[in-house]
Structure 1
C-alpha cells in the first residue's frame, strides 16, 4: 500500500523520508524517476510507502512532560503530533502518536539543513532554553532571508563563530546548531559536559554563532531552481549551463562571500581571474558589495570580538595566519586546536580577502578558518557524528579561560 504525496517547495527526498518515517531506499523503490532528476519539483507527485504508525500507550502517572523526557522528544513536538488530544487529560491506556514528533537533532543529522530548518531550529532553542539562548538578526540576504545570530554566555570575553559562508558547505550550519543545543542544555541542567565546565565557560565568554551566512546559496544547492526561480536563467548560465548546483559556493548573485572583505581584495580578484558571476571564485565588483558579507563586517565592528572562527569544509585543516598581521599567541592557539581535534594547523600563503584575513588585519586578534571533514562538498551526512566530535573539541577549547 502507498499514499500519493504532492511535493512542496523545500522538499527533498531525505526531508520527505524523515517526515514520513521511511527509508530513502523505500522512497526510491516506489519512485524510480526520482533517481533521474537532480531535484524534486513543487507539484510533482510521489508514492509514499505506508508504514505502521509509531504509537505510545499512556501509563499511570504519565504526563506530556514525563513522556517527552523518557522518549527524548520535545514536549512541544509531541503535542503537535497529537493535535486532537493535546489539551486532554492523559489517562492510562490512551494511545498517542510519535510519528511526527521529529527532533531538531534529526533534521540536523539526517536530512539537508537549509534556511527553513535553521529558522525552525532557532525557534526551538529559544523556546527550550529561555534566558540562555539569545537571538538577533544581523541583516538580510540578497533574497531577503534573515541572517540570524545566536548568543550564549554572559562573560566579558567575546568570540564570533560562523558557518555556511560557502553554499555547498551547509553541513557546518547543522554542526554549529547541534553545539548550540548541547551547550545550552548543559547550562540549563547545571552540569559539566564530560570534563568541560559549561558554567565556567559561560561566565568567562560570550559566544555569537552565525550558523548560516549564505542562506540563499544553501537553498540553491539543496533545492535547485526547477524552472520556478526568479533568477533561473542567470543561475544556470553562471553555473556553466548545469542545472545541478552541488559545486555552487557563491551567494545568489554569483559572488564568493569569502572573497568579499577589504584585505588586499584587488590582489585576490586578480589572482582568481574570475570577473563575472560564477559558482565560485568571483570576488564581486568591489569589497563588501554583498549584504551577507556586510552583515558579518558590521557585527564584528559592533561587537569587537577577541577571536573569530569561520567553519568551512573540507580538508581537516586550520588556517591561522594572515600576512604576519596575526598576534603572537595565534600560532599557539592553532596548535592547541589542532591537538584537540586531530586537524592540521596550516600557515597559509597566497590567499586574501577572506573573513579571517580581514579580521586579523583589522583587529590584530586571532582568527581561524577551520575546514571540517574530508571529501567532496557537500559532505555526506554519514560524517556528521565524527565531524561533530571534532567541532565540539575546538569550540570547547576556545570558550574556556586561557
Structure 2
C-alpha cells in the first residue's frame, strides 16, 4: 500500500508522461520470462507417456497461447520426438525427481515429421522400438523452439506386472474353468471406481484369506491366481474340506499406473493414503518407520485423515467380516514377488497364546514355500499401527501376516527390490506360493492348525 501511494504521488506531481517510468520495456519483459536467453514458455503442454503392449504411446497438446494464435501455425507441420534411455534410474531409490531438469540435448531424435493433430490440438506418437525392462525420458517439440518434457516411462513385462484388465480376465477365467468350486463377486470399489473382486475357492467351513497389492508396487495377483490354478489342477480334493477367500489386488488404481509405465515405486492409493496404515487398529499411534511420519499427508506412509477413510480399506474389512477366516496372508515385498518372511502385528507382543497361533500358520506357509529355511526364521512380529494384521488381531482375533522376503532368498530379493523380476523368477515364486498354500490347507485338514 505504501509503495502504491508513492507511485500515485509521483504521477500527480510529474504528469502523465511519468507513467512511462512504470511500464516495463520489451527487454525487461523478456528478462522476466527467460533464462539464459531461452523462453520459459513452450508451444506444447501436457506431455504424457504410457507403456502399452510393449510400445510407448506419447500424447501432447498445443499450449493455450499456441492454439489460440492466428499466426505461426506452420511450425506445427513438423513435430520432433526425442528419447533418452535411463539405465541409471533405480526403482525404489529414485522417484520423479530423477527426471527433473534432464536435458534433451544429448537425447536421440527418433522422429521428425508430420503428425495429425486431433481437434487441431492433440498430437500422438507411438514408439515401437523400445525394450522391455528399460526406462526412458521423452521430449516433443514443433519444428522450432524448445521441447516440452521430459515424460518418464518404464516398459514393463505385462506377464510380470498385471494390469487391472488382466487381473479381471484371469479371475473370470478361473471361475469359468472351475464353476463347481470357484465363485467371484464384487465387494466394493477403489477411489477411482474400479471394481474390487473377491475370489472364493472351495466349500469347506474352515477358511483362510489372501489379500494382494495393498501397496501398488508390491505383489498379489501374479502370485495368487497362478497358485490357485495349480491347486485346482492338482489338489482340488483339499477344497472339499477347507476353502480360500482372496482379493487378488486392492490398490488397482495405482497398480494401473505402474503397469502403464510409471517408473518409480508407488505405495499409496489414489488419495495418497497408505492402505496398510489406514485400518482402525491403534490408528492414533504415529509411526516413524523409513524416516517418514504416518500423520503427515505428504508422507508415503500417510495413514489417512481418519481410520478406514478409504473405500479400499472398508471393502477389505467388510470382506473379512462376511467370510470368517482363521488366518490372513497379505502379499507385500516388491515388483510382484514376496517370500517366506511373515510379519505379524507388533501390538500382539504380550499375547503369548496369539503369538503361538501365529507361529503355526506362519511356519506352515513359510516352510511349505521353502523347507530349507529354519523354522524359527519364518515369523516375527513387525507390522505397524493401522496395518491389516493389527486390525485382524484387534477386531477379528485371527493371525494375519504381511508377507515380505527373507534374507536367505537373496537372488529374488536382489532382483525384485530394483524391479528386475523376470518370468523365470515369477514362475518359481508362483510354484512356491502354491506349495505354501497347499501346506497350510493340508495342516488344517490334519488338525495341525
- Please give the range of the TM-score, normalised by the shorter of the 2 chains: 0.5 to 0.7
- Note the C-alpha offset of 1:122: 1.7
Provide TM-score, normalisation by structure 1: 0.64
Tell me which residue corresponds to 1:198.
236
Q: Does 1:310 align with 2:330?
A: yes
Q: The residue matched to 2:413 in structure 1 has which SS?
A: coil
Once residues 255 and 387 of structure 1 are traced to their aligned partners in structure 2, the CA distance between those partners, rounded to angstroms, is 29
Distance 1:336 1:206, change over 3 A: closer
1:247 to 265, 268, 287: 265
**Where do 5+ consecutive residues of structure 2 fail to align?**
1-47, 56-80, 90-95, 97-121, 131-155, 406-411
Q: The residue matched to 2:437 in structure 1 has which SS?
A: helix
1:33 to 83, 105, 110: 83
Once residues 386 and 294 of structure 2 are traced to their aligned partners in structure 1, the CA distance between those partners, rounded to angstroms, is 14
Tell me which residue corresponds to 2:231.
183
Tell me which residue corresponds to 1:386.
428
1:158 to 177, 195, 207: 207
Distance 1:203 1:280, change over 3 A: same
Q: The residue matched to 1:309 in structure 2 has which SS?
A: strand
Higher deviation after alignment, 310-319 or 352-361: 310-319
Q: 1:42-61 maps to which residues of 2 (within 5 A)?
A: 43-47=124-128
Distance 1:159 1:371, change over 3 A: same
Q: Does 1:211 align with 2:292?
A: no
Tell me which residue corresponds to 2:300.
280
**Where do 5+ consecutive residues of structure 1 fail to align?**
1-8, 18-30, 50-106, 187-192, 225-243
Tell me if the contact between 1:109 and 1:384 (Cα under 8 Å) persists in the aligned partners.
no
> Aligned residue pairs: how many?
291
Once residues 340 and 350 of structure 1 are traced to their aligned partners in structure 2, the CA distance between those partners, rounded to angstroms, is 22
Structure 1 residues 274-316: Cα deviation after superposition (integer angstroms, max 9, x where no partner) = 4444472111111100111110111111112121111111574
1:168 to 214, 217, 221: 217
Once residues 427 and 434 of structure 2 are traced to their aligned partners in structure 1, the CA distance between those partners, rounded to angstroms, is 11
1:16 to 40, 49, 54: 54
The structure carrying a bigger strand percent of its residues is: 2
Tell me if the contact between 2:363 and 2:379 (Cα under 8 Å) persists in the aligned partners.
no
Structure 1 residues 43-79: Cα deviation after superposition (integer angstroms, max 9, x where no partner) = 4223479xxxxxxxxxxxxxxxxxxxxxxxxxxxxxx
Tell me which residue corresponds to 1:138.
187
Tell me if the contact between 2:286 and 2:294 (Cα under 8 Å) persists in the aligned partners.
no
Tell me which residue corresponds to 2:114.
none
Tell me which residue corresponds to 2:176.
127
Tell me which residue corresponds to 2:74.
none
Tell me if the contact between 2:383 and 2:389 (Cα under 8 Å) persists in the aligned partners.
no
Structure number, greater radius of gyration: 2
Q: The residue matched to 2:200 in structure 1 has which SS?
A: strand
Once residues 48 and 246 of structure 1 are traced to their aligned partners in structure 2, the CA distance between those partners, rounded to angstroms, is 22
Q: The residue matched to 1:352 in structure 2 has which SS?
A: coil
- Note the C-alpha offset of 1:357: 1.5
Tell me which residue corresponds to 1:331.
359
Distance 1:110 1:303, change over 3 A: closer
Q: Does 1:266 align with 2:284?
A: yes
- Note the C-alpha offset of 1:250: 0.6
Distance 1:364 1:298, change over 3 A: same
Distance 1:45 1:245, change over 3 A: closer
Q: Does 1:320 align with 2:344?
A: yes
Tell me which residue corresponds to 2:135.
none
Once residues 347 and 172 of structure 1 are traced to their aligned partners in structure 2, the CA distance between those partners, rounded to angstroms, is 21
- Note the C-alpha offset of 1:335: 2.6
Structure 1 residues 242-279: Cα deviation after superposition (integer angstroms, max 9, x where no partner) = xx552211101110000011111111456652444447
Q: Does 1:340 align with 2:421?
A: no
Once residues 367 and 42 of structure 1 are traced to their aligned partners in structure 2, the CA distance between those partners, rounded to angstroms, is 49
Distance 1:108 1:161, change over 3 A: farther
Tell me which residue corresponds to 1:351.
384
Tell me which residue corresponds to 2:260.
223
Provide TM-score, normalisation by structure 2: 0.58
Once residues 319 and 274 of structure 1 are traced to their aligned partners in structure 2, the CA distance between those partners, rounded to angstroms, is 19
Distance 1:46 1:117, change over 3 A: same
Tell me if the contact between 1:250 and 1:278 (Cα under 8 Å) persists in the aligned partners.
no
